[in-house]
């Protein structure tokens, strides 16, 4: 796996994961939506820790800085 996520992208994903977990535990949304939010949070955390997003490879996107 080649790294394709930059630091800003990783930080945004962690913040969104924290928000999704907060929605899950606060019971502000329906139970089904809260479970979906928890799954999305897990995916965001996993991809941010690995610095690799499989969807980025499908679309040819890379947010990490290239070395010159």
Structure tokens at 12: 């945004």
Residue 21 resides in a domain: no
Residue 43 resides in a domain: yes
pLDDT given for residue 67 in this prediction: 61
Model confidence at 59: pLDDT above 70: yes
Residue 23 resides in a domain: no
Model confidence at 7: pLDDT above 70: yes
pLDDT given for residue 45 in this prediction: 96
- CA–CA distance, 58 with 68 (Å, rounded to integer): 24
pLDDT given for residue 64 in this prediction: 87
Residue 49 resides in a domain: yes
- CA–CA distance, 40 with 20 (Å, rounded to integer): 8
Quote the domain boundaries for residue 55. 1-16+28-68
Number of domains in the chain: 1
Dihedral of alpha carbons 57, 62, 64, 68, sign: positive
What percentage of residues in the chain have a pLDDT greater than 70?
97
């Amino acid at each position: 796996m080649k790294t394709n996520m930059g630091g800003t992208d990783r930080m945004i994903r962690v913040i969104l994961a924290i928000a999704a977990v907060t929605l899950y535990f606060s019971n502000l949304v329906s139970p089904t939506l809260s479970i979906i939010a928890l799954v999305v949070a897990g995916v965001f955390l996993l991809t941010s820790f690995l610095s690799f997003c499989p969807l980025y490879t499908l679309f040819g996107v890379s947010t990490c800085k290239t070395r010159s």
